């Protein structure tokens, strides 16, 4: 025993203490059970037997562990340590892969060509991407927890209220065109496509900027109206013909 290292001595002591404690506890509870079941006259003799058994078992438990057994225990502990290190490395690798996938989807979400919004049942903005914040002309941090209807123009507010009520009632995916006000005075037309989730507690909406298209449509309507007025007020007869000269 004198040639053992500190680690080996510590392992021997730990094993010895464990064996002694387990033996004492087992004998203690055995004595309790036997005392309960034995007649009173046999208690003294039984105690003497228990004392002899405890002494014998302690002698058996305190037998020194051989150097070979100590080395076997050390090898088992080292093997277990290597196994835990391998598992730790695998967990670290898995976490790195998950974080990489999350970054990828985060980039796709933030830099998508459309604005994405997650709304609560009360219409407050819970989450959005960078394009969504840009479309409404508000910093991302200032946009969260704001009411989505706050950015809807007065002209489109009744349309939006009806649209949102239909969403909460479980109508499925629905779309509408809504006029928003950004930067307090700039108008933004957007095609809004939304779906309700979580039993009506959450709504996800996608906004696509259609401002240029709406401007073109409005300009075309004005041009058609002016042309129609010009024809109706003309004093001369006006005929429309094709390239062949036919009416």
> How much of the chain is helix, strand and coil, in % rounded to 5?
60, 15, 20
Which has more pLDDT, 5 or 205?
Answer: 205
Distances (CA, A) of 181 to 112, 140, 165, 197: 22, 16, 21, 27
Comparison of pLDDT for 241 and 181, the residue scoring more = 181
Highest mean pLDDT among 34-43, 140-149, 226-235: 140-149
Which pLDDT score, from 0 to 100, does residue 29 have? Answer: 46
What gap in Å lies between CA 143 and CA 18, rounded to an integer? Answer: 62
In the prediction, which pLDDT does 21 show? 47
Q: Which residues pair with 128 in a beta bridge?
A: 117
Average pLDDT along the chain:
75
Residue 43's pLDDT band, with cuts at 50, 70 and 90, is: very low
Quick one: pLDDT at residue 22?
Answer: 46
Residues 115 and 117: their CA atoms lie apart, in Å, by: 7
Report H helices in 117-210: 130-136, 140-143, 157-168
Cα 98 to its chain centre, rounded Å, is: 12
| Residue 25 CB burial class (10 angstroms; 0-12, 13-18, ≥19) | exposed
Q: Tell me, what's the pLDDT at 147?
A: 93
What the block records as the tokens of 85 is 């290190």
State the DSSP code for 247. -
pLDDT at position 178 is 94
pTM: 0.52
In the chain, % of residues over pLDDT 90: 26
Q: Is the pLDDT of residue 179 over 80?
A: yes
Q: pLDDT category, 225, cuts 50, 70, 90?
A: confident
Which residues make Cβ contacts (< 8 Å) with residue 228, sequence separation at least 6? none
Whole-number pLDDT of residue 11: 54
pLDDT confidence bin for 168, thresholds 50/70/90: confident
Based on its alpha-carbon atoms, the radius of gyration of the chain, rounded to whole angstroms, reads: 42
């Amino acid at each position: 025993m004198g040639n053992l290292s500190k680690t080996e001595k510590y392992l021997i002591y730990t094993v010895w203490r464990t064996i002694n404690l387990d033996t004492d506890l087992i004998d203690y509870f055995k004595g309790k059970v036997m005392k309960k079941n034995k007649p009173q006259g046999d208690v003294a003799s039984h105690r003497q037997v228990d004392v002899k058994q405890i002494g014998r078992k302690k002698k058996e438990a305190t037998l020194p562990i051989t150097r070979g057994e100590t080395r076997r225990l050390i090898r088992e502990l080292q093997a277990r340590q290597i196994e835990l290190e391998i598992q730790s490395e695998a967990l670290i690798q898995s976490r790195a892969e998950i974080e990489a996938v999350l970054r990828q989807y985060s980039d796709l979400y933030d830099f998508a060509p459309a604005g994405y919004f997650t709304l609560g049942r009360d219409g407050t903005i819970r989450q959005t991407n960078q394009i969504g914040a840009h479309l409404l002309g508000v910093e991302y941090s200032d946009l969260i927890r704001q009411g989505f209807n706050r950015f809807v123009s007065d002209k489109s507010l009744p349309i939006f209220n009806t649209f949102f009520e239909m969403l909460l009632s479980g109508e499925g995916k629905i779309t509408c065109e809504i006029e928003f006000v950004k930067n307090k005075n700039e108008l933004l037309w957007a095609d809004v496509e939304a779906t309700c989730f979580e039993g009506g507690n959450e709504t996800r909406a996608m906004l696509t900027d259609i401002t240029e298209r709406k401007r073109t449509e409005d300009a075309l309507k004005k041009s058609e109206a002016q042309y129609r007025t010009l024809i109706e007020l003309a004093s001369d007869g006006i005929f429309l013909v094709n390239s062949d000269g036919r009416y």
